[in-house]
Amino acid sequence: MGARRSYAVEQRLRLIDFLLQQYGHFNRAALVDYFGISVPQASADLSAYLELAPGNAEYDVRRKTYVRTDRFARVYP
């Protein structure tokens, strides 16, 4: 799974994975609101998730959110 991540980062990546699976979309605000982190930290977490699971989500400019793709596969079962 690559570089070792802190427990806090792992939990944020798990939330991204869960939101994509359950609701089909998520945005940075979900991480900021839920975990009380900064927007730059949420962006870094998003980048880490997209690196970990390329093809799981893509940005929908119209909706201003990341949406699940047809190639989605859970990273965290």
pLDDT tens, residue by residue, 20-49: 999 999 999 999 999 999 999 999 999 999
| 3-18 per-position pLDDT tens digit | 689 999 999 999 999 9
Residue 22 confidence (pLDDT):
97
Q: Is the pLDDT of residue 1 over 60?
A: no
Q: Is the pLDDT of residue 2 over 90?
A: no
Spatial contact of 24 and 30, defined as CB atoms under 8 Å apart: no
Integer CA distances (angstroms), 17 to 24, 28, 49, in order: 10, 13, 8
CATH architecture of 7-68: Orthogonal Bundle (1.10)
Spatial contact of 24 and 75, defined as CB atoms under 8 Å apart: no
Place 77 in a pLDDT band, splitting at 50, 70 and 90: confident
SS3 per-residue string spanning 46-76:
HHHHHHHCCCCEEEECCCCEEEECCCCCCCC
